């Protein structure tokens, strides 16, 4: 496959990965701040669907296209920017995996609270803050990976 086509797919999927992550986090946080279980459950359902459709797909496409670009450009895997990019990407993925589980739990807890006309349980807030905390290193890691991907500084 042509280098520019693979590069375009790589950039497009990185944009989807980053954009979906930021967008879904923003909308779920906005819903959670309302403390409305019905709204949180509804938004959570769409956040989970977007994660599976876009984030999971991009998580697979990114390394596939990245390694292929490395091969096509004959860049050594031992290049420092490659090693750092892979390590930070792995960190983001390792943070994302429990985030998916937490989003499912948050959505289910909100749906249960909505159906029973109760407030959100304490466990919801523990899961939320863990979800939020895992998003911080994932976000920072992907911002740095974007820089390394574009600048190849080290």
Q: What is the pLDDT of residue 54?
A: 96
Q: What is the pLDDT of residue 101?
A: 97
Q: In which residue ranges of the chain is pLDDT below 70?
A: 154
Angle between helices 80-116 and 3-34 (to 10 degrees): 30
Q: What is the pLDDT of residue 152?
A: 85
Q: What is the pLDDT of residue 11?
A: 95
pTM recorded for the entire structure: 0.90
Q: What is the pLDDT of residue 65?
A: 98
The DSSP result for 51-95, as a single string, is: IIIIIHHHHHHHHHHHHHHHHHHT--TT-HHHHHHHHHHHHHHHH
Q: What is the pLDDT of residue 154?
A: 67
Taken in order 43, 44, 47, 53, the sign of the CA dihedral is negative
């Amino acid at each position: 496959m042509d280098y520019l086509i693979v590069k375009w797919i790589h950039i497009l999927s990185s944009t989807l990965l980053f954009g979906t992550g930021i967008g879904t986090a923003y909308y779920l946080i906005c819903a959670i701040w309302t403390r409305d279980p019905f709204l949180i459950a509804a938004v959570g359902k769409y956040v989970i669907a977007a994660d599976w459709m876009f984030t999971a797909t991009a998580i697979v496409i990114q390394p596939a296209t990245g390694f292929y670009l490395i091969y096509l450009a004959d860049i050594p895997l031992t290049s420092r920017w490659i090693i750092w990019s892979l390590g930070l990407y792995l960190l983001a993925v390792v943070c994302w995996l429990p985030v998916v589980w937490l989003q499912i739990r948050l959505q289910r807890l909100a749906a249960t609270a909505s159906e029973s006309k109760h407030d959100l349980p304490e466990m919801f807030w523990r899961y939320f803050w863990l979800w939020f905390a895992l998003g911080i290193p994932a976000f920072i890691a992907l911002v740095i990976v974007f820089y390394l991907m574009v600048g190849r500084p080290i």
